[in-house]
């Protein structure tokens, strides 16, 4: 859905200059579609954007980020990904 969104496409092509606007956009997507989470990972900067802020930069050596690099190579059009929460993580 987001791959066809002109706001997100233009924002990326413009250099990801305003992370606040994309964080707001992701919050709106989350709310509008009643999702538990929404996010965007930039291939160029490797920033992991989440409603509210840049959560982190993904890293090929981080076991939590392996899914991104695997999914990037898939031939299937999509995959459902369930984010694991450790017992010590609070939300």
Q: Is residue 79 part of a domain?
A: no
> For residue 13, what is the DSSP state?
H
* Count of structural domains, the chain: 1
What are the helix (H) ranges across the chain?
A: 6-13, 19-32, 66-71
Q: Is residue 25 part of a domain?
A: yes
Q: Is residue 43 part of a domain?
A: yes
Task: Give the lowest-confidence range in 1-15, 18-32, 52-66, 74-88.
Answer: 74-88
Quick one: which of 27, 39, 43 has its CA closest to 2?
Answer: 39
Q: What is the pLDDT of residues 31-77, one digit of tens each?
A: 888 888 889 999 999 999 999 889 999 999 999 999 899 989 999 98
Range of the domain at 8: 2-71
Q: Is residue 81 part of a domain?
A: no
Q: Is residue 78 part of a domain?
A: no
Angle 79-2-56 (CA atoms, 0-180°, nearest 5)? Answer: 75
Q: Is residue 45 part of a domain?
A: yes
Q: Is residue 63 part of a domain?
A: yes
Q: Is residue 14 part of a domain?
A: yes
Quick one: which of 16, 28, 84 has its CA closest to 52?
Answer: 28
């Amino acid at each position: 859905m987001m791959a066809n969104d002109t706001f997100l496409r233009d924002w990326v092509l413009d250099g990801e200059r305003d992370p606040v606007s994309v964080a707001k956009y992701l919050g709106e997507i989350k709310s509008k579609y009643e999702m538990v989470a929404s996010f965007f990972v930039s291939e160029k900067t490797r920033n992991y954007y989440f409603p509210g802020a840049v959560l982190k930069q993904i890293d090929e050596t981080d076991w939590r980020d392996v899914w991104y690099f695997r999914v990037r190579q898939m031939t299937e059009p999509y995959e459902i990904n369930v984010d694991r929460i450790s017992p010590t993580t609070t939300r």
